[in-house]
Amino acid sequence: SAVISQKPSRDICQRGTSLTIQCQVDSQVTMMFWYRQQPGQSLTLIATANQGSEATYESGFVIDKFPISRPNLTFSTLTVSNMSPEDSSIYLCSAGGVGVEQFFGPGTRLTVL
Amino acid sequence: TQLLEQSPQFLSIQEGENLTVYCNSSSVFSSLQWYRQEPGEGPVLLVTVVTGGEVKKLKRLTFQFGDARKDSSLHITAAQPGDTGLYLCAGSNAGNMLTFGGGTRLMVKP
């Protein structure tokens, strides 16, 4: 299994600003993903972070709002741009190898005022 | 679009009781995973089932994958307060993409 860390663990931001969330994996992984989760609810996939190419976004999520970087096989960032209160949520990154299992980071709890 | 429906959404039981959580879909999945999540943490993988009809046991937890690989169940025997959390099923097909169920919030009261 992979150990995944995220920074920051939580933040409170003002409307209209942007926040970049970092995800670090302790080993090289093939796949990295970003999810959003409302407290107590299930996970919604935002995008697959592709190493060396543009991320693949799910329906309802666009690159201008959620730009993603993945410069190598152990690191990825998700930026939440031009934030509004509706963006308040928990953002999770996950990593997977050649198998089907995904391992999750602890999440970043974002509150937008 | 593949959908996974979990039931029940909420479950509050006394310590020592048994419970079953269901995960159903009209779609076939190549594998299905169960996760448990506690507040302030990310989901933690409990088990992966890949073969239709497969049953896996993890101490007091029993996981079953349906014969047609469209449904799964999680049974907990003699629940303990430490079992409290959000239980999530997730189905997987090509590309290592996961489709998550809506989750079951379990509270076990001492």
DSSP states of A49-85: E-TTS--EEPTT--TTTS-EEEEETTEEEEEE-S--G
Cβ contacts of A109 on chain B, cutoff 8 Å: 40
| pLDDT for res A112 | 97
8 Å CB contact of B31 and A41:
no
| pLDDT for res B1 | 62
| pLDDT for res A98 | 61
- Pick the residue of A1, A35, A42 with the most B CBs within 10 A to test the interface with B by mutation: A42
- Pick the residue of B84, B97, B99, B106 with the most A CBs within 10 A to test the interface with A by mutation: B97
* pLDDT higher than threshold 90 for residue A96: no
| pLDDT for res A40 | 80
Contacts of A80 (CB under 8 A, 6+ apart): A18, A19, A21, A65, A66, A87, A91, A110
Residues in B 63-102 with any Cβ partner in A closer than 8 A: 86, 88, 90, 92, 96-98, 100-102
Mean pLDDT, chain B, whole residue set: 93
Cβ contacts of A94 on chain B, cutoff 8 Å: 42
8 Å CB contact of B98 and A40:
no
d(CA A2, CA A101): 10
Distances (CA, A) of A101 to A13, A75, B43, B48: 33, 18, 12, 7
* pLDDT higher than threshold 70 for residue B2: no
* pLDDT higher than threshold 70 for residue A62: yes
Instruction: Work out the pLDDT band at B75, boundaries 50, 70, 90.
Output: very high
Convert the pLDDT of each residue in B53-70 to its tens digit.
999 999 999 999 999 999
| pLDDT for res B83 | 96
Q: What share of chain B is helix, strand, coil (3-state, %, to 5)?
A: 5, 55, 40
Convert the pLDDT of each residue in A33-61 to its tens digit.
999 998 888 999 999 998 888 999 999 99
| pLDDT for res B93 | 79
Q: Which residue in chain A is spatially nearest to B43 when comparing CA positions?
A: A104
Using DSSP's 3-state secondary structure scheme, residue B94 falls into: helix
Nearest to B47 by CA among B82, B17, B74: B74
Using DSSP's 3-state secondary structure scheme, residue B82 falls into: helix
Report phi then psi at A32, rounded to 5: -135, 140
Report phi then psi at B94, rounded to 5: -65, 150
